Amino acid sequence: MFCPRVNRKIKATEVRVVSEDNSDIGVFPIADALGLVASRGLDLIEIEPQAAPPVCLMMELGMYRYREGKKHES
The whole-angstrom separation of Cα 54 and Cα 60 is 18
CATH class of domain segment(s) 7-73: alpha beta
Residue ranges of domains in the chain: 7-73
Least confident of 18-27, 28-37, 48-57, 64-73: 64-73
Global pTM reads 0.90
Q: Is residue 11's pLDDT more than 70?
A: yes
- What local confidence, expressed as pLDDT, does residue 72 receive? 77
